[in-house]
Structure 1
Amino acid sequence: MTGPAAARSQRRRRTAFLVTERERPACIRIRPGAWWLAVATVCFGAFMGQLDASIVTLTYGSLRSGFGASLAAVEWVSLAYLLSLVALLIPAGRLSDAYGRKLFYLYGFLVFSGASAACGLAPSLAVLVVFRVVQAGGAAMMQANSVALVTTSAPRERMRAALGVQAAAQALGLALGPTVGGALVSTLGWRWVFGINVPIGVVALVAGHYLLPRTRYRNPARAFDWVGLALLAMATTGLLLAVSAASGLPVAGWAVAVLFAVAAMAMWAFTRRQRRIEHPLLDLRLLRTRAVATGLFAALCGYLVLFGPLVLVPIIVTLHGHTTLTAGCVLTALPAGFALAATVADRVMPSGISDRARCVMGAVLCATALAAMLASSLSIAWLVPLLALIGTGLGLFTPANNALIMGAIPAGSSGTGGGLVNMARGLGTALGVALVALALYLGGSLGNRWALFMLLVIAILAAAGAWASPSSRTAPPASGTPGGTLPAEQHGGQEQAGGAAKRA
């Protein structure tokens, strides 16, 4: 072969490494605990995502003074990121199922770290918001694959423990965010709030290249549904903007109603399109599986209960005459309880307790703690232990609920399933902040109590969703898994020696 054809072939060979998942070194692949190394690598992304979520709000004051902007304008630094992340999670998961989850996860780290560096160097607020959207694209590529990589790396009997470690990494990032952010802003400046992501991202890229397994099951994407992506983005953006606008922003009532209507119509059009086209963005058969549908509903409620106190508790503590630093220390009890329960529950609880039972126990514990908080004086002496109990309940609930969802999703669609889980988390996060703000705005002097009552109702709904989940996990039919039968090694851990080289 000579001439232009030979030149094109040579260029393809040179760039093949950019689109090819590399196998792990044999010395790592055959280790009995190789799956733990993969889980630890995924924890980098889990930690970074939650650290970034809880750290950026501390830059608002510096951004306002540095760019001479209003608070409403500065809030778009967070809002643009959140809206983009929620809209891109399912598409990122779908493409990952087709082209490789390890590949997309590593590229997600690359995009996230590069955009973080650009955010730290942004010359204006508008440029900062643009790079936050790019950063959200990288975060979507990571988050859509984090749960999938954990569940397809860990042995089935250790999947809940692995998801617990990942959830603990998220809680640690959430807990350290206020402390690290406050220290960085007060010493090095707001730009280092974004710059801190870069060295962590470099370490994670190297670790992921050597420690993450290649994708063993793929679900080819014959055509990408760009119209479906636009409808999904319109639905999620409209919903979050409507709830935010109803929480006290100077927006006319008719505009809020229009936003809700647009969100509802876009979601109806998205659902209708996914049922009719040959290659949908989201296979709705996944949502017809009871374990997936009830699990996603419960996941949304759980993350709403987790993030609602992040808005509510500082207000309660400062109203009692304490400082913001004290409020941050009090609030740390919640993610600390979450991290502790997520990591040690498997060791202290009887092994015969099912995922469904753990979900119900965790949600009931949350509801009990919120009911006690609602009846208490809301002093620090009450808040600290009750927040720790809420965190403990969520630490029991979240890994088991994620295990129920992912156990009901075929291996070829695990990236899409991970995107659904993280979309539920993103919506729960946003609604936890927005609905608490709405309760505070509408409740007047009793706003704190109304917000607590709302969180109590949500915790009860999470318990109901967990109770409605089936006790056994069955997966719907999917391409590559005829009749819905899951391959035996869907959640298999490390590959065995002899033939493992091809599967990496």
Structure 2
Amino acid sequence: MAGSAEHRPAARWALASLSLSMLLSSLGTSIANVGLPTLAQAFGATFPEVQWVVLAYLLAITTLIVSVGRLGDITGRRRLLLAGILVFTAASLLCGVAPTLWLLIAARAAQGLGAAIMMALTIAFVGETVAKEKTGSAMGLLGTMSALGTALGPSLGGVLIAGLGWRAIFLVNLPLGILTFLLAHRYLPVDRRKPKTDRASFDHVGTLLLALTLAAYALAMTLGGRESAPVNLPLLLTAAFGLGLFVLAETRAASPLMRLAMFRDAALSASLAMSALVSTVMMATLVVGPFYLTRALGLDAALVGLVVSVGPLAAALAGVPAGRLADRLGAQRMTVIGLAGMAAGAFTLSRMPAAFGLPGYIAPITAITVGYALFQTANNTAVMTDIRPDQRGVVSGMLNLSRNLGLITGASVMGAVFALASTTNDITMAHPEAVAHGMRMTFAVAAILIVVGLAMALGSRNRAGRASLHATPQTSPLPLTNDLARPGRLR
């Protein structure tokens, strides 16, 4: 479709529908956060109760994103993506008219299901809508839309709540959802029908085990406060036990949800690990940054909101250029450059604000987020370019899952590092110097995590170089497997 001149306009409109899908799903993540105080007042609920408006959405995406990606591979990605857009749009309507908090939370979980389908299949569709040499540019555009949705959420949510009330932050999705559905229905390539004998069966046991395992881990990481401490350890043990059962089930399944042989590919495993590490650090900027700006630099809420938006906006502006650079210079090289920029930014952020104040915070945050845009675009391109068509959905789901797990882990672990380094039980009452010290230590740890990711990227690049050096036209550098044409390239 992308290869012929007469089809280029259709390819552009197809990419527009994918971009809107990414924008909607990321907007759904960020726009609800700003409404939590208003929701608590509207429903007469406690803050831990209204937090489930955010948690329900996040848990649905995290637990289902790999499964819906695999389901798209089996049943057809176009029809499932159209269903996901409809579910997201209908659930947004239910959120907007919900009469009680618990109905709102249930509707948010349904909205998260739609978002999981949209996130997983949007990236998987790139290989079917653009030429291979333009994959990086398409990934950069999707990264821009994701960052734009994240940046736009808080400010748009604040304006809608002030002017129209809290229901408007959900109802705003209706016209966008309808437009996305119409574009996708008109321009996305039709699914190729397979004979029933060629269709793989869906792994229901593996799907259930993975969903329960991820739910237990996500709850352990996101339930905060001393009152939840007694359940966190059992949840983590449940997650570990569930992971063991899942691995056992996948080795015995005739058509597994996730082929474990895929993890023998060092490049894929490194890409997933790097994605989780990088997302952990990015969450630190969102968790720690507002406390530092408020307590240590003394900024008011409005100015804090503007400063926090600098990072996502920088990532949005860098997304498309990052994709073009990945196409021109190579995805592996841009992955290394992006991680190097993030490491430099994190190290600088641990030192510079103490001497230069607000400018010393904004400059390294910009470096971190631009480096993140370079990394994410290049990493997604490197993973998805040579994926076998019938594996694109599940691998796209795994990429999104690694990112979500990094965000969830980062909120808990990096928040704990910040609190520990600040030497206080209540960070909202901590002395400015203690908060500043906590921020410096948190981003020193973040710099170490990025350096670990950089070592993975360099190691993966060196292995790929040695493999291509020793490969011949007649032989493959490594043995073939049933799942991989050759390790490092999931063809």
1 or 2, which has the higher helix percentage? 2
CA offset at residue 234 of structure 1? 2.0
What are the residue-to-residue correspondences of 1:338-417 with 2, within 5 Å?
338-345=315-322, 347=324, 349=325, 353-377=329-353, 379-417=357-395
Q: In 2 relative to 1, CA 312–30 (structure 1 residues): closer, same or farther, beyond 3 Å?
A: same
Deviation at 1:109, TM superposition (A): 0.5
Q: Secondary structure at the match of 1:372?
A: helix
Distance 1:99 1:159, change over 3 A: same
Q: Is the 1:294–1:468 Cα contact (8 Å) retained in structure 2? A: no
Are 2:259 and 1:268 equivalent residues in the alignment?
no
Partner of 1:32: 8
Point out which structure has higher relative CO (alpha carbons under 8 A, 6+ apart).
1
Cα pair 1:223 1:279 within 8 Å, conserved: yes
From 104, 107, 112, the counterpart of 1:136: 112
**How many pairs are equivalent?**
459
* TM-superposed deviation, 1:484: 9.2
For residue 232 of structure 2, what is the aligned residue in structure 1?
Answer: 256
Q: Which amino acid aligns with 1:342?
A: G
Instruction: Supply the distance in 1 between the matched residues of 2:287 and 2:203 (Cα, whole angstroms).
Output: 37
> Map of 1:69-468 to 2, 5 A cutoff?
69-216=45-192, 221-245=199-223, 247-253=224-230, 255-319=231-295, 320-345=297-322, 347=324, 349=325, 353-377=329-353, 379-443=357-421, 444=423, 445=434, 446-468=437-459
Q: Which residue of 1 aligns with 2:472?
A: none
Post-superposition shift, 1:38? 1.9
Q: Separation in 1 of the partners of 2:100 and 2:173?
A: 20
The normalised TM-score by structure 2 is 0.87
Per-residue CA deviation, residues 141-190 of structure 1 (Å, 9 max, x unaligned), is 11110111113321111101110011001111111111101111122111
Q: Is the 8 A contact 2:342 2:371 kept in 1?
A: yes
8 A contact 2:27–2:153 mirrored in 1: yes
Asked whether the 8 Å contact 2:15–2:129 carries over to 1, the reply is yes
Larger deviation: 215-224 or 275-284?
215-224
Q: Show structure 2 runs of 5+ residues with no match.
A: 424-433, 469-475
Q: CA deviation at 1:352?
A: 5.3
Kept in 1: contact 2:138–2:323 (CA 8 A):
no
Q: Residue 401 of structure 1: CA displacement?
A: 0.2
Q: CA deviation at 1:216?
A: 4.8
> Per the alignment, do residues 81 and 377 of structure 1 end up closer, same or farther by CA in structure 2, a change over 3 Å counting?
same
Q: Distance in 2 between matches of 1:278 and 1:177?
A: 43
Q: How far is 1:53 from its partner?
A: 1.1
AA aligned to 1:447 is G
Residue 404 of structure 1 deviates from its aligned partner by 1.2
For structure 1, list consecutive stretches of 5 or more residues without a partner in the other structure: 1-23, 491-504
Q: Deviations over 1:449-494 (max 9, x none)?
A: 3322232222223222322324479997568x9889999xx8xxxx
Change (3 A) 1:292 1:372: same
User: How far off is 1:252 after superposition?
Assistant: 3.5
Report the 3-state secondary structure (helix = DSSP H, G, I; strand = E; otherwise coil) of the residue aligned with 1:168.
helix
CA distance in 1: counterparts of 2:326 and 2:207, whole angstroms = 44
Correspondence 1:57 to 2:48: no
